[in-house]
Structure 1
């Protein structure tokens, strides 16, 4: 059971002594729900308009359009092009030749785009469904016909079945244009109007004229077979993205393949920008609404002061208490988000089915009702945004309250009481003794110790690490589950002087008289902190990171062997053989590091937390630490460090994964070095040592 979540749920649902807290909490839920409904509806309407515009372009734009990257025209009768036409997903292919021309009819004239198409155009693009006058015909009985957009037809004053043809002027490709004899510089063709189309897109309706491709070729003096584009219609169910990649592979990089959205990239990109800008505006409104959470959570924290004191007296850590109220604060936006999304989706489905909200009754719109489409990705984005903003607004009052919570009993005493209760429970439920599995469990403080313990005793013992990966052993507070695991262990292998052990080992030893404790630092000469240097340590009595050098690692391995031989005398030969293999691996790592580091020119490096003191001494390197006495660096200390780093030509700044990188990155920028993230606490001891050495040599 997740204890903080269980308590937070009870706090949210239970009736408070001050009814105002319930009212503010419900107001918070309602405000989040309303903002979430608005987000769902607005984004769904944008999706609906996106689909509506895409369907309108579908009457004129093909599913895929192939054009040349260089030049205006290409030959579509190559083997590669024929293989594209023969693809099973391709239903039809149309050859297109397109150019700007001048149109004249009577006393009117207009610049237009002449789009020459072949006989397959009618099967490629559904133009027949948008003809508002006449019929679809481009060539009958040797007579050429044209189909203009409604805006172009209105400008020229033409309509279907007019007896006079449109005059089409195109500059001659050969020769020069003469200003004195302009008429001789143009090629003139004629075409009768067979129909008029209307797509309700000004860029098409007012500019395009559909013509037979042979007429356009003759007018522009292009060779037979030359086209400016090849337009493809795909069969239903074809996957456009996969087919694009397949066609690109066949044609190579000399051709551009565009889907329907890429052909109208500017229009669709603008719609996306408008959509997400609206999303940001509504998210800002949501943020303001979520400030109600700060009020309700602050009042709840004040009301539950007695509960907090009781939990602390039972041994609950400050982290656990913070999580209770943080979960409480997150539940409010979470509940509002779920309710808001449900209502928003329901409203969108009603609009999609019945079209209750209309654009107008004049018939001037393409659709008489607001189009909507609910996207699962939009719902996910909305949910994540609401929960994230809610979590951030909950963090501030919890953090402020944590500073005010008074400690009613020392941590060690609280831990003793908690361990006493846990051990009493364990003894009542487990018969008072260790199980067979518990008798083969050994606890260690950090993951780096597990590297040595598992290599030597892993065949007969289970190794349990108290401080989990990613946590600092200087500040880690163990959970009740961790303490139960230690209590059920047969032995504890301690590092020696690490911060966790200095705080918690007296309590662990006192509450677990059966536990055999072995100190792996025996025989190791401690390196004391130098108050005048940058690598000061706050551990008291010496740097505790003794595992970060092969020489001290060998001594730790020797002490680990001694511990397992005392714990299990029946398998000493197994442990000694495993120890010999481990020492050989340590020696090979040491040799590899000497080969990398002995010839270094610049032998100084920077590290955030001074964890490589023994490593630096072993290979005659100099360590400069950003952190001083376990505290954030001051401006003066940073300047001193940077000046010394420049003088020493430092080229690498190490930072441990459990620490913030901002100071390390700041120093690296100042001195022109690179930041390398390391994990000296890792259970992969050999790999981490070699990684550090390689970083210094690059």
Structure 2
């Protein structure tokens, strides 16, 4: 079972103590549903108009059109072309020769596009269904006929009942144009009007004249068999895309194969742009509607704070709790999206079946009713958009709440957590007390302490670190397992004033009366500064990072030795010998650092979190911190820091691995410094100290 999803579903469906939360949640669902219905209906109407326009072009444009990439005409009687005509998916093929001409009738004249076609044209396109006057005929009894569009016929003042032919002028392809005898520069042909077509597309109705292809060839002096295009009609069910590739492979790259949409690319592209621009506008409206989710989720988080603390006391992680409310926030737009899509599809189906919404008076438009077509891909895009925007709007209140949960935890909840850990410990150990192994377990707060504790007492004690690597000891909240390990320890070695200890040590001591606690900061002179409190946990008047300098590390080692000698008097000689070895290593590290840093020219460095205060004091360096009081720097403080860093000619910017590098990298770019990742919490104390010193010398 997915626990976060289960709890989120219960929160969504259960009645809240404050009825306003239910009302706002329902308003959120309804607003998302309404916006989703609008998206489904609008996109479906665009699809309907797209299909309507495509069907109108289908009266004149073929399924596939083959033209030459170079040159105006080509020979369609090659073996490759014949193999294309013979493809089983091809129902008919029409040879086309097209050119601009001048038309005259009576005292009127008009430039037009003469489209010469062969006898298969009537089977290739559905022109006969859009004839509004006359009949389809191009050559009968040796007489040539023409079929103009309605706009062109109106301009020339002709119709199918006229007995006089129209005059067709085309420039002669050979010879020069004579200014004095212009008529001799044109080839003139005549054709009678057999019909007039109307497909409600001005680019065709006002410009095209259908003629026999032989008449156009003679008029333009093209050789027999030359064409400007080969138009194909495909059989029902043919896969246009696959067939295009097959034809392209047969003909090679010298020919261009266009489907119906590519032939009218500009028109269809504009329709797609209009469609998706409308989609974006409606998505923006949807985003505004989803702000209701922020309100309802924020109120729910406030109402469920007690539940959150209970879950935390039972061992629930921050991630699990965040997922509960993220799922809750996503369920509202998800429910609205499902309801909205269902209603939108239903409305579209009703419109398709009954045509309830009409465009206007009958006969005034190509279609009497709004055309609609529901596309599954549109529904998927709408669903993903709604859920994605809903998830993003849910993220902000959950993130804000998670920060608050990380900072404050009621003491009662902390006590419950420890009690849970102790009960679990008791059950595991068979009723109470410490086992023989537990009597030799010592807990420390951070990994850096483990370095000293294991070097001195590791021969007879197991050292357990409470704050795991990669976690900040200022914000870490322990799990029940961590508390169980502490409860089973004989002693606890605390750093002194680090954030975790300030929050948790009183409760740990209260719940574990058997636990001996040793403060490793005894005898150390604290450095008080305005950098002594950050990350929401006060350090109590001094910088807590006492292990980050050899002098204070020696005192910590001395205090660690004293603790182990008190815990195990039988092995004091072993602990003293180990301590002497550790102190010698600390001294050698100190000497190496002095050798590296005493002659350093540029003695200022930048660090994200001010953890090297004692280090800087020991070697007469200056530490500039990016972070202030646990807060990200403001623009003003960043500018001040950068100005000072430039003045001090800072060459290195340190950032601890548990912190974000964004600000450190930004500062480094501004001042031309290097970013160095350090880990002052590491159990490899000596290596880390030397790494910091070496970084400062480069």
TM interval, shorter chain, is 0.5 to 0.7
Structure 2 CA distance for aligned equivalents of residues 605 and 697 of structure 1: 11
Q: Shift in Å at residue 446 of structure 1? A: 16
1:440–1:299 distance in 2 versus 1, CA, 3 Å: same
Matched ranges for 1:33-182 at <5 A: 33-182=33-182
Q: Shift in Å at residue 83 of structure 1? A: 2.8
1:5–1:501 distance in 2 versus 1, CA, 3 Å: farther
- Cα deviation, 1:628-659, whole Å, max 9, x if unaligned, reads 99986887999999999999999999999999
- Cα deviation, 1:394-423, whole Å, max 9, x if unaligned, reads 233333444545866589994993794698
CA contact (8 A) 1:445 1:465 kept: yes
Larger radius of gyration between Structure 1 and Structure 2: 2
- Cα deviation, 1:70-92, whole Å, max 9, x if unaligned, reads 22222222333233223222222
Structure 2 CA distance for aligned equivalents of residues 136 and 338 of structure 1: 51
Structure 1 CA distance for aligned equivalents of residues 620 and 253 of structure 2: 56
467-476 or 386-395: bigger deviation: 467-476
373-382 or 637-646: bigger deviation: 637-646
Structure 1 CA distance for aligned equivalents of residues 12 and 111 of structure 2: 69
Aligned to 2:311: 311
CA contact (8 A) 2:417 2:480 kept: no
Structure 2 CA distance for aligned equivalents of residues 75 and 293 of structure 1: 66
> Please, which runs of 5 or more residues in structure 2 have no aligned partner?
none
1:537–1:168 distance in 2 versus 1, CA, 3 Å: farther
Q: Shift in Å at residue 451 of structure 1? A: 23
SS in 1 for 2:210: strand
Return the TM-score normalized by structure 2: 0.67
Matched pairs, number: 698
CA contact (8 A) 2:532 2:543 kept: no
1:561–1:652 distance in 2 versus 1, CA, 3 Å: same
- Cα deviation, 1:232-287, whole Å, max 9, x if unaligned, reads 11222221112222222333332222111111111111111111121122222222
CA contact (8 A) 1:139 1:212 kept: yes
CA contact (8 A) 2:36 2:337 kept: yes
> Please, which runs of 5 or more residues in structure 1 have no aligned partner?
none
437-446 or 93-102: bigger deviation: 437-446
CA contact (8 A) 2:421 2:483 kept: no
CA contact (8 A) 1:314 1:414 kept: no
467-476 or 202-211: bigger deviation: 467-476
Structure 1 CA distance for aligned equivalents of residues 260 and 580 of structure 2: 68
1:531–1:35 distance in 2 versus 1, CA, 3 Å: closer
1:211–1:19 distance in 2 versus 1, CA, 3 Å: same
1:180–1:9 distance in 2 versus 1, CA, 3 Å: same
CA contact (8 A) 2:147 2:194 kept: yes
398-407 or 221-230: bigger deviation: 398-407
1:6–1:140 distance in 2 versus 1, CA, 3 Å: same
645-654 or 46-55: bigger deviation: 645-654
CA contact (8 A) 1:412 1:504 kept: no
RMSD: 8.6
372-381 or 281-290: bigger deviation: 281-290
Q: Shift in Å at residue 146 of structure 1? A: 0.9
Q: Shift in Å at residue 207 of structure 1? A: 0.9
Structure 2 CA distance for aligned equivalents of residues 691 and 111 of structure 1: 84
Structure 2 CA distance for aligned equivalents of residues 549 and 139 of structure 1: 104
Q: Shift in Å at residue 314 of structure 1? A: 3.8
SS in 1 for 2:538: coil
SS in 2 for 1:667: helix
CA contact (8 A) 2:8 2:327 kept: yes
CA contact (8 A) 1:530 1:536 kept: no
CA contact (8 A) 2:89 2:238 kept: yes
210-219 or 542-551: bigger deviation: 542-551
Q: Shift in Å at residue 618 of structure 1? A: 26
CA contact (8 A) 2:450 2:465 kept: yes
Structure 2 CA distance for aligned equivalents of residues 509 and 389 of structure 1: 47
1:413–1:207 distance in 2 versus 1, CA, 3 Å: same
Q: Shift in Å at residue 316 of structure 1? A: 3.6
370-379 or 280-289: bigger deviation: 280-289
